[in-house]
Amino acid sequence: MNYTSDFTAYTPNGFGRENQVQLANVFRKLVDKRCFVLLSNSDTPFIRRLYSDFRIKEANVQRAINCKGSKRMGHKELLISNYS
């Protein structure tokens, strides 16, 4: 199991690129239905490209699930929305 900032093993099958594309498609469907949508996701070039048509803000976050306290800080996530 991978215990890094790229952790994707919340399920036995992980959450890979195909799942990310599916999530982005659901995001777009909700936007098309005029929903206000806010999503938090990993800060990676792939995610930035996937949601490049939307508002993206960086957020500094802590990871409470690391055995080393010093490794719980200094991570970035993206807040992605279709509204300001």
Strands (E) located in the chain: 38-42, 55-61, 75-81
Instruction: Determine the Cα–Cα distance for residues 11 and 57; give it in Å rounded to an integer.
Output: 27
Question: What token pair was written down for 18?
Answer: 């195909």
Question: What token pair was written down for 3?
Answer: 């215990």
User: What pTM, to 2 d.p., does this model score?
Assistant: 0.74
Q: Give the burial class of 27: count Cβ atoms within 10 A of its Cβ; 0-12 exposed, 13-18 middle, 19 or more buried.
A: buried
pLDDT in tens, 9-63: 567 778 899 999 999 999 999 999 999 999 999 999 999 999 999 999 999 887 6
